Amino acid sequence: MRILLAEDDALLGDGLRAGLRQHGFQVDWVRDGRAAERELRAEPYAAAVLDLGLPQLDGLDVLAAVRAAGVTLPVLVLTARDAVPDRIRGLDCGADDYVVKPVDLDELAARLRALVRRAHGQPQERLQAGSVLLEPATRSVTLAGAAVALSGREFDLLQLLMLAGGRVLSREQIEQQLYGWGREVDSNAVEVHVHNLRRKLGAGLIATVRGVGYTLRKEGP
């Protein structure tokens, strides 16, 4: 899942980006409010981690602006402001969750996963399609109870299709979520990942909608 991190502290931002990448997130990092607002308006992120004390434009102003523009992605506010009125203001401006610094990376990753799940109408941590079970926290997959080894990109694509809940995703939509800034994408990368998932999890798992994209069969393999 591709997320936006808006944090002006270089040391903290670098640590958060590295830590969230270890949890399987593709992280684009900006350091000021203007850049955060621009990216949130333009790019289809799965979620955002937004610091409040950003230069150029305060995080709450960023949040209010993008919500007014109709941007609905989940936003987790990350801040050193721990007073109750500040938390209330953040939630009233459109934040979906609120974490006070210093933050535990495992907790931050878990909260992001929960926000993304709820945004896709998936209340459970585990995702399932037929006999395929995906565990986001451990990044593991089983088929009829047997562990299946997937590459990082294969896991991310499977999770993306499971979260889509039967909607068809185009190749462009998939690429936007699987790859962050500066990542070169081979023209057939998505097709290769789909082929590998079918080989490992069953040919009937993923359906191709000709001229549109891919979707996960509800019944699974």
pLDDT digits (tens, 9 = 90+) for 47-89: 999 998 899 999 999 999 999 999 999 999 988 766 677 778 8
Structure tokens at 194: 């789909």
Amino acid at 119: A
Residue 38 and residue 61 share a domain: yes
* Structural domain range at position 210: 127-216
Residue 63 and residue 94 in contact, taking contact as beta carbons nearer than 8 Å: yes
In a domain, 221, yes or no: no
Burial class (CB in 10 A: 0-12, 13-18, 19+), 127: buried
Domain-terminating residue out of 86, 119, 152:
119
Q: Tell me which amino acid residue 137 is.
A: A
Instruction: Give me the pLDDT at residue 75, please.
Output: 96
102 and 178 co-located in one domain: no
Asked if 51 and 78 touch (Cβ cutoff 8 Å), the reply is: yes
Residue that finishes a domain, picked among 88, 119, 150? 119
Residue 22 pLDDT = 92
CATH code for the domain of 143: 1.10.10.10
Tell me: do 81 and 138 sit in the same domain. no
The per-residue pLDDT for 100 is 84
Mean per-residue pLDDT, 173-197:
80
Counting the structural domains of the chain, the total is 2
